[in-house]
Each structure stands twice: as structure tokens, then as C-alpha cells.
Structure 1
Amino acid sequence: MSQPLSYVERRRIQLREEIIEAAIDVFAERGYHDAGVADIAERVGIGHSTFYRHFDSKRAILEQVIETVMARATAALAGDNAPAAVATLDEYRDQVGRIAGALDAIAADARVVRLLLVQAASVDAALEQRLFGMFDLAVNLTAGYLDHGRDSGYLRCGLDITATARALVGMILGTALLGLSPELDRDNRTRTIQAAVDLMFDGIVARS
């Protein structure tokens, strides 16, 4: 049985999370390139030396944000939402609905969407490649669901798995970007997601 964390360790973890949250706020307000470590530290109410005990740079925070989003997205694809957890088209529809809801909850934080899909690719070439790697992972994960559905008989046997997976990931990312618009309220966002799911099933379901 693991020992409970000490107060000092709990406070260290809490402060790290506060720094990340403050950085996301500052990036959203000023843009990644114009934001400085001093701006982030001031927002938290700490000195530079305290900041650097937790992160080497503001870029390190961006890396942490990417890791967190990827972990949350991957967690949404486990258990009942894993590819092999369903065996029929109706079960798959329900599963897609659950996954869409989980991904929408992640994309509801417009600050993170703007940071990852608008600002991050312009930071440097290495981070751009990291983002493309994240997109490739999303395509591979999506392909696993399509493969399972095709093998199980409820998706079209002639489905181009990789191309369809890319198209679906593009639709997910596009919907996330649309969510940055102040014109897209909660109702319209929900309708847009449902329309995307309907388009998906109209195109990939096996026809009797």
C-alpha cells in the first residue's frame, strides 16, 4: 500500500497545476510568442526561481498541455469505448456517441484548442512534428475502430480504412476549431457534433 503524499508534495503538485492553468490563460490572452515566463509567474504570484523549479521554460508547459490532452483523449477510448467492446451497429452508434461526448468535453476548453490547433504549430519545427505525430496517433486509433467494424460486418467491407480514419479525424479537428467561434453556442455545437456523427454513419455502414 502506497504512503499518502506529504503536505509539501501535495502543495508542489498543486502549484505545478496552477502554473499550467495560468500559462494557458496568458497564452490565450497574449499569444504564445508574446507571453513571457514573467507574465505567467506574476499571474500565479510566484517568483522566477519558483517557476523554474517546476518548468524549464514556457515551451515545457506547452509540452505538458499536449501530454495531458493526449492522456485524456486516450482514456476516453478505454473500457466500454475500446474498439473490441462492441459487436453490433447499434452498440457502435452508442459507443461513438459516448466518445463524441468525451472529446467534446475536452474541446470545450477553447483556450486549449486555440493553443494546440492554432498557436503550437508555429512555435518550432520539433513541436510541429509533435503535433503531426498526435494527429497520426488519432488516425491510427480511429482506424482500429473501423477495422473492427469491418471485420464484424456492420461497416462496409470495401471501406478504405486509413483514408476514412483521416477524414473522421479531420472532421473532429474541424469541429473543435469551429468551437472557437463566439457564434457557435452550446445548442449549435451539439447539433454540429450530431450532424458529424450522422454523416459518418451514412457513409460507412454496411448496407443489406
Structure 2
Amino acid sequence: MKSLKEQRRIEIIEAAIKVFGEYGYHKGKVEKIAEKAGIGKATVYEYFSSKKEIFQQMLRHAFKTYIEEAKKATLGKSGAKNKFTALLNYHWDFIDLHVDTIEQTFFQFKNISDEIKPYIIRSHKIMIDFLSEIIAEGMKIGEIRADVDKEKAALMILGVIASSNFMRYFSKNKEHSDIDAKCVVDALFEGLGGRRQ
């Protein structure tokens, strides 16, 4: 169970997600974050030293939440193919929910301190390890060739997930925006799957 202090920090971060999503980093004032959280501006500074720290901790919270929920999305799914399909659907749902914040903050990496960068790198490694585990499961049941390099394949899949954002949200080609998870995973497995006799 989270302490009252930790719960308040999360409430401020969640308010910041909404404010930065609506106004962007530069126009998203601490006063607006405080108002959205239902507290005074002075109270915000009891938990965070600056707007920049709020932004950095917002990113940290987002990465942590994304990974936790991504893992939950694959629970109860059998086989790598089904797990990757569930993961991609979760990823798109996450983007749908936070698309405004992502668009407004995508180019704000100059506001990320050296303290947060190692955390982002660790989060990336956690995702690679998670994808590698799914690939290993696929190897065991013959969905994926036994000679596939798990880590390289995981990096490739992470790239596919990232590029799918462009296809669905930024491409003007309607066929790209209508793409579904099964279509992506089926195409992926044509390259990773074992040859059928």
C-alpha cells in the first residue's frame, strides 16, 4: 500500500501528464499542475523542486507504468505470437490514452537530466529482456526458429512496435492507419517462424 506522501506525488505526476499534454512543457505551468491536482502551488514544491523535476519524474512514472502494464497484458496468453499481439494492442491503447502528452513532449529531451537517462536505459533493457523471454517461449514450442538470436530479435520487435506508431498515428496513408496488431505480428512471424514442411 502506498504511503500518503507517495500517493500525493503520483497525483501531482498524473496532473502533470494532463497539463503537459494540453499545453506542452514550456506553457505547462506549475500553477496549472497544482490546480489540476486540487492543491496549492506551494504544496507542489513540497514534493518537487522544479517543473523540470516534475517532467523528469513524469517520464520515469510513464516508463514504469508502461512496463508493468505491458507484462500484465500478456498474462494468460499462450505462445509468443499471441503474447506479441496482446503486447502490440496494449501499446496502441497506451499511445491512444497519452497521444497528446507524447506529441507535446516528444522533443523535450533537453529537459531530461543525467540522473534520469540511466533509468530510461534500464527501462529499455527491461523491455528487451521481457521480449527475449517471449521469444524463448516461442522457440520452445516451435513458433520461432531455434537459431534466432533472442536479443537481436527483441531489438527488432521493439523497433517494429515503435515504427507502428508512425503507421497508425502520423502516416497520411489510410491503409497504414487501419493496420491491426495481428497483421503486424503475422508479417513478423513470416520472418522469424520455422519453415513449414
Q: TM-score, normalised by structure 1?
A: 0.71
Identity of aligned residues (%): 20
CA shift for structure 1 position 74: 2.6
What is residue 61 of structure 2 aligned with on the other side?
67
Give yes or no for the alignment of 1:165 onto 2:154. yes
Partner of 2:88: 100
User: Aligned partners of 1:66 and 1:146: how far apart in 2?
Assistant: 26
With over 3 angstroms needed to count, the CA separation of the structure-2 counterparts of 1:120 and 1:170, relative to structure 1, is: farther
Listed one character per residue, the Cα deviations across residues 90-110 of structure 1 (whole Å, up to 9, x for unaligned) are x43333222222222112120
Q: Does 2:81 align with 1:81?
A: no
RCO higher in 1 or 2 (8 Å CA, sep ≥ 6)? 2
Find the counterpart in structure 2 of residue 47 from structure 1: 40
Against the structure 1 CA distance between its residues 128 and 122, is the aligned structure 2 distance closer, same or farther, given a 3 Å change threshold?
Answer: farther
How is 1:153-192 mapped onto 2 (pairs within 5 angstroms)? 153-181=142-170, 183=172, 189-192=177-180
Distance 1:198 1:191 in 2: 12
Q: Deviations 1:44-70 (Å, cap 9, x if unpaired)?
A: 554321212343333235424433443
Structure 2, unmatched stretches of 5+, are none
> What is the match of residue 111 of structure 1?
100
Specify whether residues 154 and 128 from structure 1 end up closer, same or farther in structure 2 by C-alpha distance, changes over 3 A only. same
Q: Which amino acid aligns with 2:86?
A: R
Runs of 4+ in 1 over 6 A off after TM superposition: none
3-state SS, counterpart of residue 88 of structure 2: helix
Distance in 1 of aligned mates of 2:183 and 2:109: 28
Give the TM-score normalised by the residue count of structure 2: 0.74
Does 2:147 align with 1:138? no
Q: Label 1:100 to 1:128 Cα distance change in 2 as closer, same or farther (>3 A).
A: same
User: Residue 145 of structure 2 contacts residue 192 of structure 2 at CA under 8 Å; is this kept in 1?
Assistant: yes
Secondary structure of 1:31's aligned partner: helix
Q: Distance between the aligned counterparts of 1:105 and 1:154, measured in 2?
A: 26
Question: Secondary structure of 1:154's partner?
Answer: coil
Q: Letter of the aligned partner of 1:202 in structure 2?
A: E
* Number of matched pairs: 193
